[in-house]
Structure 1
Amino acid sequence: MSPRRPPGPPVRALPGLLRKLAVDRLAMMRDAADLSDAVLVSMGPKKLYVFNRPDYAKHVLADNAANYHKGIGLVESRKVLGDGLLTSEGELWRAQRRNVQPAFKPGRIAAQAGAVAEEAGRLVEHLRRGAGRGPVDLLQEVTGLTLGVLGRTLMDTSLSGHDGIAHAFEAVQDQAMFDMVSQGLVPSWLPLATQRRFRRARRELTDTVDALVSDRAARMTAGDGATDAFARMIIAARAHPDPATGRRLLQEELVTLLLAGHETTASTLGWTLLLLARHPHVRDTVREEARSVLTEGRLPEAEDLHRLTYTTQVVQEAMRLYPPVWILPRVAQGPDEVGGYEVKAGADVLVCPYTLHRHPDLWDDPERFDPGRFDPSRVANRPRYAYIPFGAGPRFCVGSNLGMMEAVFVTALVTRDLDLTVRPGHQGIAEPMMSLRMRGGLPMTVRPADRLPAPRAAAAGAGAA
């Protein structure tokens, strides 16, 4: 039987689709999912395939991953990310992945639990001290936290004093989406506001990266350990046969680490805290578990991650509804067949976790916030690729274990000790950029949940593998 051509919207619908691509990309993905599990959008010579079934996702992301390189959106991000781990391909990507992989081994991540817990404890104390002083942007606060964790766990470097990193990356994402929508047809020299912000951000990131590399390299020369991901990047750059190329790749890898190392976890924490504020009964269950496991105001240790089972389910459900990596774009290198549908060489292919996680054949009442979906008894009957918040296949997120530990620890501590209330009128609208951001931040009022002992450090040696 010859491959079929997927259904697609009629030609008259294309203007509306292009408008949604520019202003409401999630609506475009929902429209495609409502039409079929395999959709072909033809825009002149350009072909865009959207696949929305677990077995289709498995084929594109895992079984035939070699045929699908990074695609629309990420290609445009190379203006800043260059050939970093997020955008590189082939042997370069494999070499980069092998180089940083040891920094993400489970034993090493477990050993970082103390640093993650301390940063979370500092956030709670900071919020507690500001309680009652009016709304606080929790998204900004957790972004600062995730940068702090990134610096301590993967870079052996303090990122305090580099507060502009998060704002610079917002400008980078805005430019990447602008380039995607405009198909790169707008000259970069035009003095548009988006492009001016992008150029400033690129200069700021270059200056920041150069300063961080200089500091870390000097400490390595002085005898500091070199097991963190940042140090391993510096060593690889020094070993490159072409010093100029080595320096360029180091810059691009570090920019990627700074972005991917904080953005997705900050997004997850923002959505988790918003959902808990909207669902007090779930918040109360998390608080009860946190106070049962993390007694006497103590900070979590590595072993506590396996005891905070309900909190983990809450974070997993937040990532189902609002996956930080909301879209997985690819470009077919050669012709292929996905679920009996033909895919042309050179076509753009999209797998969208945001819609896959809402597929009515896979999830009962998919728009409802229900952490119980991730009870082990219910997970066992679900297709493996029905839930892919960290991607899948060879390009599965290398930092997923660290990100989960960070999100669970912060959620548990914040909920144990504080009451957060969303400012009236704030809707929490999803803004699909490179990650699934929350438009307008997350303004919340903070007050202590009750009197608890101040968080104390874990016992010496805790958190080791």
Structure 2
Amino acid sequence: MLSKQKKLQAVAAAHKLPWVGHTLAFVKNPLGFLEKIQSRYHHEKVVKLSLVGREFHLVLTPEDVKHVLQENNRNYHKSEAYSVLAIFLGNGLLTSEGDFWRRQRKLAQPAFYKQRLALMVEMMGSETKGLLDKWVSEKENIPIDITKDILNLTLGIVTKALFSADVKHRLEGISEALNDIMHYADDILKSFVRFPLSFPTPANRRFKRAVQKVEGIIYDIIDARRQELKRNPKVRYDDLLDMLIHTKDEETGETMTDKQLRDEVTTIFMAGHETTANALSWALYLLAQHSEVVAKMRQELNAVLGKNGTPTFENIRELKYLLQVVQEVMRLYPPAWIMGRKALKSDLLSGYPIQANSFVLISIYLLHRHPDYWERPNDFDPDHFLPEPTKSRPTYAYIPFGGGPRMCIGNNFAWMEMQIVIAVLIQKYDFVLDNTEKVEPDPLVTLRPKKNLKIYLKPIDA
């Protein structure tokens, strides 16, 4: 009988093509490929894959994921894939490493304390009601582009959270620029041939224009705030930019440079805009197919908030079923669906040797649909998050915001935003899918619908 190490090597060798390994199958259908690997080797804990000329160890169990992300996290830095994002995001929390990351995380953390988030609840509700006002003017019996509307909504929320004032008029075209950046990063990650950014390919030129647009807007806003502080050093704002500008390193007393501010603001901006919009689009897609879930949510909302009430920071915790719904959406369609790590030193995962400088792949999408940890793993069922089944599952079977010290710093912001948006919208409308086009996930850097979702609005009082 083969040893465990040889067996795993044989598994990988038996199903890869010469030269290209598993790359073509992965690029053609990333989610389908990973699901097939999980199904075929569900008794294994680590499976070796060959992708874009490199070997990756796909980790399939929550216990090993916990080891990589938490127990031995200092041995696992982010993989080279994040260097592509760093071209745009700079050295922000998502892409930085080591002591610099720890310093930046410590500096940025106060901006996301719960008392700070409490100040944003009313703003989130107000922005969502603004979308309802827009929908009142929409023509009946014509499907709306829900993806576009939700992107604009999350854009409004994140800009208000970051910059207080409504600066959307300065952000024209920024969603399109972010979309170009995401597609560029995805294409680079899946490509065997990578032209230097200095090479004037159409893709490189489009990417540079997109980065310059986003960067110019962010720097202009930071500069305007700096100039205002020079004129009036005592002026303060209840926003994240104010917190980031004024926070100081406890040991050195240093504050963030403009470059550090740009990197952190850009990272927060992208995450608070793109990923939350994707999750909310998937939420409305699922709710449009599950009227029984919507009915149960409305019962809870009426009981806690009264008719057409808006969640507050004090009562949002009472909306337990609403939270289960959001958790279930993030289980089935986690925006951050995959992540990579590079081992700095050799290690063992379930007895399987991981060599220094080798790559580890963690698919959050697979963990969230693993049949060993979820009943009916592909079904939308908020009861997956009732207290009893939640207690019985390994903690790292569900990690929509990652895990360990590098868990997403904005996770509480995102949970709160999604609950408020859904609560406000479903009190006014039922959502009916436009079935003329098939809805499929598009696993780019984030997991989004392949085509913009089209949904009919049905006022519930009609």
The answer on whether the counterparts of 1:330 and 1:350 sit within 8 Å (CA) in structure 2 is yes
Taking the aligned partners of 1:282 and 1:261, their CA distance within structure 2 comes to: 26
Q: Deviations over 1:303-333 (max 9, x none)?
A: 2211221111111001100011111211111
Partner of 1:375: 386
Partner of 1:302: 313
Q: How does 1:254-403 map to 2 (within 5 A)?
A: 254-403=265-414
1:160 to 156, 159, 168: 168
Q: Deviations over 1:236-295 (max 9, x none)?
A: 6999x9x9x933333222221211122221111111110000112212222232233332
1:18 to 16, 23, 27: 23
1:182 to 188, 191, 203: 191
SS in 1 for 2:315: helix
Q: TM-score, normalised by structure 1?
A: 0.90
2:55 to 41, 47, 67: 47
Tell whether 2:452 aligns with 1:441: yes
Taking the aligned partners of 1:195 and 1:11, their CA distance within structure 2 comes to: 37
1:141 to 144, 149, 174: 149
Taking the aligned partners of 1:338 and 1:273, their CA distance within structure 2 comes to: 38
The answer on whether the counterparts of 1:156 and 1:228 sit within 8 Å (CA) in structure 2 is yes
Tell whether 2:431 aligns with 1:420: yes
Structure 1: gaps (5+ residues): 452-465
Note the C-alpha offset of 1:199: 1.7
Taking the aligned partners of 1:449 and 1:352, their CA distance within structure 2 comes to: 39
2:34 to 21, 29, 32: 29
Note the C-alpha offset of 1:112: 1.8
The 3 A distance-change label for structure 1 pair 210 and 380 is: same
- Greater shift, 427-436 or 211-220, is seen at 211-220
Q: How does 1:230-245 map to 2 (within 5 A)?
A: 230-235=241-246
CA RMSD of aligned residues (A): 2.6
- Greater shift, 267-276 or 211-220, is seen at 211-220
> What code does the residue aligned with 2:38 have?
A
Q: Deviations over 1:194-233 (max 9, x none)?
A: 3332122011112111221122223434343156432343
Partner of 2:12: 9
Tell whether 2:71 aligns with 1:70: no
> What code does the residue aligned with 1:25 have?
P
Partner of 1:432: 443
Size of the aligned set, in residue pairs, is 448
Q: How does 1:190-229 map to 2 (within 5 A)?
A: 190-221=199-230, 222=232, 223-225=234-236, 228-229=239-240
Q: TM-score, normalised by structure 2?
A: 0.90
Structure 2: gaps (5+ residues): none
SS in 1 for 2:431: strand
The answer on whether the counterparts of 2:164 and 2:238 sit within 8 Å (CA) in structure 1 is no
Partner of 1:455: none
1:60 to 58, 68, 78: 68
Partner of 1:172: 181
> What code does the residue aligned with 1:345 have?
A
Partner of 1:83: 91
The answer on whether the counterparts of 1:69 and 1:331 sit within 8 Å (CA) in structure 2 is yes
The answer on whether the counterparts of 1:157 and 1:216 sit within 8 Å (CA) in structure 2 is no
SS in 2 for 1:140: helix
Note the C-alpha offset of 1:400: 0.8
Q: Deviations over 1:32-80 (max 9, x none)?
A: 3222331112469732111011101100000011011111432211111
Taking the aligned partners of 2:222 and 2:362, their CA distance within structure 1 comes to: 36
Note the C-alpha offset of 1:11: 5.4
The answer on whether the counterparts of 1:103 and 1:154 sit within 8 Å (CA) in structure 2 is no
Identity of aligned residues (%): 33
Taking the aligned partners of 1:12 and 1:94, their CA distance within structure 2 comes to: 41
Taking the aligned partners of 2:77 and 2:249, their CA distance within structure 1 comes to: 28
Note the C-alpha offset of 1:424: 1.6
Taking the aligned partners of 1:78 and 1:127, their CA distance within structure 2 comes to: 38
SS in 2 for 1:143: helix
The answer on whether the counterparts of 1:83 and 1:252 sit within 8 Å (CA) in structure 2 is yes
The answer on whether the counterparts of 1:56 and 1:339 sit within 8 Å (CA) in structure 2 is yes
Taking the aligned partners of 1:131 and 1:289, their CA distance within structure 2 comes to: 30
SS in 2 for 1:76: helix
